[in-house]
């Protein structure tokens, strides 16, 4: 079905960089008002067109004098000069200072003719009526040299001098210098215009109605890549979504190429849409490169369409953003004249071992966590490229060489941070999905919490990676944590830094139309049930309760669970079963009283379970762990706001 | 003349921080479109209101099947299933997969009812007409488990889950997650509005006409501080200039206080304007603090005016920006919810000794330069606070403790960088002010050049601080450079990395109305002359020429120079004398043929002088030094474009 030209091998990453560098994205320079020049880059040298200051300027409040008249003056033997007038800042002197006279002068004022120095007001005394002809006189109690307390014209910047060079990034200080020169229109490098064409019939712009039943999803790449373009100094332009119709795609790509310096296509995970793009580029432009030996990013395209540069990004958001950052953002920055970010890497040790099978360079999304000594640990984040949540769960990428088969725990690695501002979170915790916890985390600065369930929390705590695990229900055995990332030493007991209780049971439709009274109804009656996944602490307690029921009845546990229609229908989050019930897809779901109250459904209580925050013992003193402990201790308002919660 | 309340002592810096922290600058939160949310800070937690994906989704192109139908299938013994239709991304399935059947499915499409797994297309073969009732069939050559190649509804983000916490900085990745959730209106922290009232009758906004004869100067602080406010996450609002009229100042400050969260006054160096502000704050608000024990910044005010916070900044631009960055920017960032910049410090060793007399904390503007080993050296930048050029010649400040009497050369210090992006320049050179050099420097990336004259260049090179010195005329003796910042070891000879020649002489009015023919005219006739300062290589050659003239005449050199009216009238930059001639203030000035041609004046040649770039021998291999050497070597176009220049 494809007539793709043969690109026998995937290109090497450096070839992709070179192909993109060979494209011209540089826009024409432009002129912006000084007030809007911050963050731009000077397009040309700015020479001073005038002296700054433009006149000999008093740099103290005092009296303008002829220095010679003060020679020899001191506290014991002051000189006395006739006061002939005053010069204020912002006005033209109307007096001339002759020998034996002086003029009052304020800081910033023009030195009057004849004067060559200023005596500070603190070293003078006014003598009313003490002048030769009955006017006022000034007693000068110090001697000054010519030029004292005078800033000469051009002393700061002289006309004709080089003020700023081309390529200078304009920050507040450059704005200050340009202000001093009176430059109010600043010649700056243009921002490359980057068109973004998202492809895929299933995409809907955020804010519009979504029809999940038709398989629609919100378009993640358009706004994400647009923000990345702007971060790199480009100007993003969004084009309407293109399906996989050839004519529509051609029209959009050609339109974008006429209006932009670079066109990016992104968003499609469908082979046919990619085929269509491929054909448009081949027919309306030129394809330089198809596929790069890097994971993610194999489906990357580089070429030209019309007069514009073109790069096709992978469809999955994490892949698209990773490839954008690695290959495209540097080219956008170069075109905008922006420097590479200064501190965009962090070094740390691998928190766990990671193995690689493919012989491709890999851009491994990685998270940062600080160990007890404040040293950085690095762990892989990989939920499958289709997950948008890994966008925010990673702090950067580790570039793993094609020859690397594994990274050992404890091995030093370098993380290319997503931005220079990225820092390890103050708290990294994994565990139960709980609405009280969600609110308590609001009171911790920059926490990272992965709601992967109690069991996964315990598993990761045992590996020693997170700072804490949040566990609902009975953890079975006392949690432990590996003391350091290599995990060689014996795990130590975890510390409890917070605890509360929550009521759980069956969420049923409002009014409980089926008259569900307890677990036995799930086993004995024809009710469609929705369970939680096996990492959930709710599921653990449900299974225990079903086991008790089986014991009561003297039957095998398995018999009981198999009698529940939907016991294996497991969904991921605490509200998910209730939402299935609300949607009419189930008659009962495992959940919390708090959820039932929030969503307005019925609820059949099955018990109360404990939720505990277990700290990695080595990191119990970490400020973020302490902050969560304090949030729990001070969390009465949170527990009071959630039905069925108590400390 | 002042009725100031007595603040007996200057406040300590920490008291100034506390006073500012006690003021409330936090604006109301607001809502912005997702497309404009980058760089903002979330005001509240965002929970997922929907499952992502909202449906069970195929994650491969292939066939939707009942996994049970594939059990046991492999290459040798494939299963064959009737093809009953197709489901594409973005459309609603119209088929139900019963046992023994399958449906074509594309990546991203909704799983049809009945199907629980996807078989990749690569592991199948289409059998046209191979179906039970003559329709097509699909040969399945692998076995799949339930859930294979399916992303279940909510697997990425589940409804009710915590997506992002309050205080999260919104970068492209958060925009991705918000996109996935369909959030197109984002609740963000407001940006504090900061009003800037610049005071001083002498100030003129850049772009307006400047009357230097009246002592007007361009307003540097307004735009500089506005840019600083915006860099810190605030919104700046500029108010018209206020003179030192009480009523006008009161009206402006009250107006600003009604419209802004914080009002800054800045710009005035005049005692009377400061007095007026002081009285307005006392009468219309409250003064918390007057004067801080820090240099610069003694005149700082902190208080309230109306319902708004108020800070009075010093008048000199470098002082104003330094105090703003140190005391005010952190408060603006906090109010905006922005984190402190991550990497805003650099450590290095002092390149020279620096002594302090006053018992005040000092914020010493400092420049960075890299030594031969790439280690950072730090040198003080202090041209007097009135100079705007020190704004761009410093890279940050070193906080020097009040007890510190001196910093020794080689002593380690920490520099608080003006921004995390600041790096040492690639080339740091000092020396002659030369128009060819100015153009050549355009070809070096991020150079720093201080046009302080040949003599100052040689002096600094001898101290070992800059990478190179540019020297015009005969340097007298061979230049040397100290090998390291402590300067203990013997200086080594500098290396010449570039050389050219320039024609110099007397710049006279166009048409040479006084018929000036040479130096003797300056000595013998009544001509007003303008010289260059003694750091200039032009001045050196002029003095030598006058000495030759004296020798010829058998008179004392001093007699000759004293006969030149204006020999001591020294101005700073290469065009300055010519501009004085143009303005009618002088009959002749020391200058270059290139300047005379550029400005359209007359010119009387006195000779040609050599200009040399001398590298610090330890740093001759530094890329920036090499780049300047190459720029000179390749600079024929530059030399050809300037009259009187040749290699």
Interface subset of A 478-537, CB within 8 angstroms of B: none
Q: Which two tokens stand for residue A602?
A: 């019925």
Q: Is the pLDDT reported for residue A3 higher than 50? A: no
Q: Which two tokens stand for residue B545?
A: 């020429």
- Please, which residues have CB within 8 angstroms of residue B72's CB and are 6 or more apart in sequence? B79, B143
Q: Is the pLDDT reported for residue A308 higher than 90? A: yes
- Candidate from A174, A220, A221 with C-beta closest to B392: A174
Q: Chain A contact for B289, CB < 8 A? A: no
Q: Chain B contact for A187, CB < 8 A? A: no
Q: For residues A571 and B51, is the Cβ–Cβ distance under 8 A?
A: no
Q: Does B446 contact A167 at a Cβ distance shorter than 8 Å? A: yes
Q: How confident is the model at residue A268 (pLDDT cuts 50, 70, 90)?
A: low
d(CA A22, CA A508): 62
- Range A331-340 average pLDDT: 91
Q: For residues A292 and A326, is the Cβ–Cβ distance under 8 A?
A: no
Distance from CA of A227 to the nearest CA of B (A): 5
Q: Is the pLDDT reported for residue A55 higher than 90? A: yes
Could you count the other beta carbons within 10 Å of the beta carbon of residue B640? 11
d(CA A355, CA A359): 12
Q: Chain B contact for A2, CB < 8 A? A: no
Q: Does B89 contact A202 at a Cβ distance shorter than 8 Å? A: yes
Spell out the alpha helix ranges (H) of A487-566.
Answer: 519-524, 537-553, 557-563
Per-residue model confidence (pLDDT) at position A385: 58
Cα–Cα–Cα angle for B180, B183, B187, nearest 5°?
135
pLDDT in tens, A131-181: 777 789 999 999 999 889 998 888 888 898 899 999 999 999 999 999 999
Q: Is the pLDDT reported for residue B384 higher than 70? A: no
pLDDT in tens, B533-579: 999 999 999 999 999 999 999 999 999 999 999 998 888 889 999 99
Cross-strand bridge partners of residue B501: B610, B646
How high does pLDDT run on average in chain B? 90
Q: Does A201 contact B89 at a Cβ distance shorter than 8 Å? A: yes
Interface subset of A 236-255, CB within 8 angstroms of B: 243
Q: How confident is the model at residue A421 (pLDDT cuts 50, 70, 90)?
A: confident
Q: Using a CB-CB distance cutoff of 8 angstroms, which residues of chain B are in contact with residue A315?
A: 107
Q: Using a CB-CB distance cutoff of 8 angstroms, which residues of chain A are in contact with residue B573?
A: 154, 158-161
Per-residue model confidence (pLDDT) at position B564: 95
- Candidate from B179, B226, B572 with C-beta closest to A220: B179
d(CA A91, CA A96): 14
Q: Chain B contact for A403, CB < 8 A? A: no
Choice among A61-65, A215-219, B154-158, B166-170 with the minimum mean pLDDT? B154-158
Asked whether the CA dihedral A219, A221, B183, B186 is positive or negative, the reply is negative
Q: Chain A contact for B571, CB < 8 A? A: yes
Could you count the other beta carbons within 10 Å of the beta carbon of residue B345? 11
Q: How confident is the model at residue B2 (pLDDT cuts 50, 70, 90)?
A: very low
Give B300's DSSP letter: -
Closest C-alpha among B169, B198, B190 to residue B234: B190
d(CA B121, CA B47): 37
Q: For residues B293 and B227, is the Cβ–Cβ distance under 8 A?
A: no
Per-residue model confidence (pLDDT) at position A543: 95
Q: Chain A contact for B217, CB < 8 A? A: yes
* DSSP E strand stretches across B181-226: 185-188, 193-199, 203-204, 217-218
Q: Chain A contact for B287, CB < 8 A? A: no
Q: Chain B contact for A543, CB < 8 A? A: no
Q: Which two tokens stand for residue A7?
A: 């690109």
CA atoms within 13 A on the CB side of B645: 23
Asked whether the CA dihedral A405, A411, A416, A417 is positive or negative, the reply is positive
Q: Chain A to chain B, count of Cβ pairs less than 8 Å apart?
A: 414
Q: Is the pLDDT reported for residue B397 higher than 80? A: yes
Q: Does A174 contact B243 at a Cβ distance shorter than 8 Å? A: no
Q: Chain A contact for B68, CB < 8 A? A: no
- Candidate from B38, B177, B438 with C-beta closest to A231: B38
Q: Using a CB-CB distance cutoff of 8 angstroms, which residues of chain A are in contact with residue B213?
A: 55, 92, 110
Q: Which two tokens stand for residue A226?
A: 């647009």
Q: Is the pLDDT reported for residue B8 higher than 80? A: no
Q: Does B34 contact A185 at a Cβ distance shorter than 8 Å? A: no
Q: Which two tokens stand for residue B385?
A: 């606070």
Q: Does B54 contact A216 at a Cβ distance shorter than 8 Å? A: yes
- Identity of the highest mean pLDDT range in A120-134, A531-545, A567-581: A531-545
Per-residue model confidence (pLDDT) at position B155: 85
Q: Chain A contact for B332, CB < 8 A? A: no
d(CA B295, CA B312): 15
Closest C-alpha among A588, A605, A633, A630 to residue A502: A605
CA atoms within 13 A on the CB side of B513: 10
- Candidate from B151, B389, B421 with C-beta closest to A339: B421
For B395-413, b where at least 16 C-beta lie within 10 A, e where not — what string? bbbbbbebebeebebbbeb
Per-residue model confidence (pLDDT) at position B3: 45
Per-residue model confidence (pLDDT) at position B434: 96
Tell me whether strands B203-204 and B217-218 are parallel, antiparallel or unpaired. parallel
Cross-strand bridge partners of residue A607: A504
Per-residue model confidence (pLDDT) at position A86: 95
Could you count the other beta carbons within 10 Å of the beta carbon of residue B454? 31
Q: For residues A163 and A47, is the Cβ–Cβ distance under 8 A?
A: yes
- Please, which residues have CB within 8 angstroms of residue B260's CB and are 6 or more apart in sequence? B193, B194, B195, B237, B308
Q: Chain B contact for A270, CB < 8 A? A: yes
pLDDT in tens, B84-139: 999 988 889 999 999 999 999 998 899 999 999 999 999 999 998 877 777 899 99
Interface subset of B 74-93, CB within 8 angstroms of A: 87-92
Could you count the other beta carbons within 10 Å of the beta carbon of residue A552? 10
Interface subset of B 430-459, CB within 8 angstroms of A: 433, 435, 438-439, 441-442, 445-447, 449, 451
Per-residue model confidence (pLDDT) at position B484: 65
Distance from CA of A566 to the nearest CA of B (A): 14
High-pLDDT (> 70) share of chain B, %: 96
d(CA B244, CA A115): 25
Residue of A nearest to B208 (CA): A182
Following DSSP, what letter does each residue of B560-577 receive, concatenated? Answer: HHHHSTTTT-EESSTTHH
Choice among A238-242, A365-369, A602-606 with the minimum mean pLDDT? A238-242
For A440-459, b where at least 16 C-beta lie within 10 A, e where not — what string? bbebbeebbbbbbbbbbbbb
Rounded to whole angstroms, what are the CA distances from B273 to B249, B279, B315? Answer: 9, 10, 10
d(CA B489, CA B482): 7
d(CA A57, CA A573): 72
d(CA B300, CA B227): 20
The pTM of the full predicted model, rounded to 2 decimals, is 0.89
Could you count the other beta carbons within 10 Å of the beta carbon of residue B184? 17
Q: Using a CB-CB distance cutoff of 8 angstroms, which residues of chain B are in contact with residue A38?
A: 227, 230-231
pLDDT in tens, B481-495: 887 665 566 788 999
- Please, which residues have CB within 8 angstroms of residue B566's CB and are 6 or more apart in sequence? B528, B529, B530, B531, B586
- Range A345-363 average pLDDT: 83
Q: Chain B contact for A173, CB < 8 A? A: yes
Q: Is the pLDDT reported for residue B343 higher than 60? A: no
Per-residue model confidence (pLDDT) at position B226: 97
Q: Does A201 contact B155 at a Cβ distance shorter than 8 Å? A: no
d(CA B548, CA B1): 58
A279-284 long-range Cβ contacts below 8 angstroms, 24+ apart: A279/A3, A279/A246, A280/A246, A280/A249, A280/A250, A280/A253, A280/A305, A281/A253, A281/A305, A281/A310, A281/A312, A282/A5, A283/A250, A284/A250, A284/A253, A284/A254, A284/A257
Q: Chain A contact for B341, CB < 8 A? A: yes
Residue B476 gets the label, from left (phi > 0), alpha (psi -120 to 50) or beta, of: left
d(CA A574, CA A632): 20
Q: Does B343 contact A339 at a Cβ distance shorter than 8 Å? A: no
Per-residue model confidence (pLDDT) at position B478: 84
Rounded to whole angstroms, what are the CA distances from A427 to A274, A443, B320, B391, B477? Answer: 41, 12, 38, 39, 63
pLDDT in tens, A429-438: 999 999 999 9
Cross-strand bridge partners of residue A83: A102
Closest C-alpha among B235, B226, B178 to residue B48: B178
Mutation choice for B interface testing from A223, A325, A426 by most B CBs within 10 A:
A223
d(CA A519, CA B391): 74
Distance from CA of B180 to the nearest CA of A (A): 5
Distance from CA of B43 to the nearest CA of A (A): 11
Residue of B nearest to A267 (CA): B108
Per-residue model confidence (pLDDT) at position A1: 37
CA dihedral B599, B605, B607, B611 (to 10 degrees): 0
Rounded to whole angstroms, what are the CA distances from A372 to A381, A618, A625? Answer: 21, 6, 11
Q: Using a CB-CB distance cutoff of 8 angstroms, which residues of chain A are in contact with residue B211?
A: 92
How high does pLDDT run on average in chain A? 90
Mutation choice for A interface testing from B67, B206, B238 by most A CBs within 10 A:
B206
- Please, which residues have CB within 8 angstroms of residue B413's CB and are 6 or more apart in sequence? B347, B348, B349, B350, B366, B378, B398, B407
Per-residue model confidence (pLDDT) at position B167: 93
Q: Is the pLDDT reported for residue B611 higher than 90? A: yes
Tell me whether strands B412-417 and B345-350 are parallel, antiparallel or unpaired. antiparallel
The length of chain A in residues reads: 647
Per-residue model confidence (pLDDT) at position A485: 63
Mutation choice for B interface testing from A173, A205, A270 by most B CBs within 10 A:
A173
d(CA B441, CA B435): 10
Q: For residues A375 and A368, is the Cβ–Cβ distance under 8 A?
A: no
Q: Which two tokens stand for residue B352?
A: 């020279």
Q: How confident is the model at residue A418 (pLDDT cuts 50, 70, 90)?
A: confident
Q: Does A223 contact B52 at a Cβ distance shorter than 8 Å? A: no
Rounded to whole angstroms, what are the CA distances from A77 to A62, A73, A80, A131, B104? Answer: 19, 6, 10, 17, 107
Distance from CA of B166 to the nearest CA of A (A): 6
């Amino acid at each position: 079905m494809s007539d793709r030209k043969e690109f026998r091998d995937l290109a090497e990453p450096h070839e992709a960089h070179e192909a993109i560098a060979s494209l011209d994205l540089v826009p024409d320079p432009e002129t912006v008002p000084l007030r809007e020049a911050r963050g731009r880059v000077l397009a040309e040298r700015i020479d001073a067109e005038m002296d700054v200051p433009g006149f000999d300027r008093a740099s103290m409040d005092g009296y303008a004098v002829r220095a010679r008249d003060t020679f020899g003056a001191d506290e014991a033997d002051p000189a006395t000069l006739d006061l002939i007038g005053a010069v204020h800042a912002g006005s033209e002197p109307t007096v001339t200072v002759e020998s034996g006279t002086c003029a009052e002068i304020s800081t910033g004022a023009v030195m009057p003719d004849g004067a060559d120095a200023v005596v500070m007001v603190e070293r003078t005394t006014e003598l009313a009526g003490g002048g030769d002809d009955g006017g006022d006189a000034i007693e000068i109690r110090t001697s000054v040299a010519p030029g004292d307390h005078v800033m000469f014209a051009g002393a700061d910047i002289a006309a004709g001098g080089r003020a700023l060079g081309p390529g200078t990034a304009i920050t507040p200080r450059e704005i200050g210098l340009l202000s001093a020169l009176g430059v109010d229109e600043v010649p700056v490098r243009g921002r490359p215009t980057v068109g973004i064409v998202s492809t895929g019939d299933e995409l809907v712009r955020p804010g519009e109605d979504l029809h999940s039943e038709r398989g629609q999803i919100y378009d993640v790449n358009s706004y994400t890549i647009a923000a990345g373009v702007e971060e790199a100094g480009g100007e993003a332009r969004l084009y309407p979504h293109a399906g996989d119709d050839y004519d529509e795609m051609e029209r959009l790509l050609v339109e974008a190429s006429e209006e932009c310096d670079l066109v990016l296509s992104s968003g499609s995970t469908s082979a046919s849409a990619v085929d269509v793009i491929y054909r448009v580029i081949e027919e309306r432009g030129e394809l330089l490169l198809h596929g790069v030996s890097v994971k993610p990013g194999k489906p990357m395209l580089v070429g030209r369409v019309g007069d514009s540069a073109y790069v096709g990004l992978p469809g999955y958001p994490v892949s698209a953003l990773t490839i954008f950052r690695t290959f495209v953002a540097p080219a956008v920055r170069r075109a905008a004249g922006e420097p590479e970010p200064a501190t965009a890497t962090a070094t740390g040790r691998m928190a766990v071992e990671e193995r690689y099978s493919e012989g491709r360079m890999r851009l491994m999304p990685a998270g940062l966590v600080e160990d007890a000594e404040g040293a950085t640990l690095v762990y892989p984040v990989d939920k499958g490229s289709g997950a948008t949540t890994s966008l925010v769960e990673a702090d950067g990428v580790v570039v793993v060489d094609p020859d690397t088969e594994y990274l050992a725990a404890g091995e030093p690695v370098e993380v290319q941070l997503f931005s220079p501002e990225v820092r390890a979170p103050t708290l990294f915790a994994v565990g139960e999905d709980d609405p009280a916890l969600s609110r308590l985390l609001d009171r911790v600065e920059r926490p990272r919490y992965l709601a992967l369930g109690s069991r996964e929390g315990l598993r990761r705590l045992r590996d020693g990676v997170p700072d804490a695990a949040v566990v609902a229900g009975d953890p079975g055995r006392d949690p432990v944590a590996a003391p350091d990332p290599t995990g060689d030493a014996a795990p130590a007991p975890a510390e409890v830094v917070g605890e509360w209780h929550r009521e759980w049971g069956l969420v049923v439709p409002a009014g409980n139309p089926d008259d569900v009274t307890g677990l036995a109804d799930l086993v004995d009656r024809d009710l469609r049930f929705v369970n939680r996944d096996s990492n959930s602490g709710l599921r653990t307690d449900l299974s225990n309760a079903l086991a008790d029921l089986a014991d009561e009845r003297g039957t095998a546990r398995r018999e009981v669970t198999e009698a529940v229609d939907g016991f294996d229908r497991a969904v991921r989050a605490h509200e998910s079963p209730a939402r299935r019930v609300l949607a009419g897809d189930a008659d009962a779901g495992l959940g919390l009283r708090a959820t039932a109250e929030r969503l307005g459904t019925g609820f059949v209580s099955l018990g109360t379970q404990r939720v505990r925050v277990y700290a990695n013992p080595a990191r119990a003193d970490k400020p973020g762990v302490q902050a969560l402990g304090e949030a729990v201790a001070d969390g009465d308002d949170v527990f009071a706001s959630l039905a069925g919660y108590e400390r």
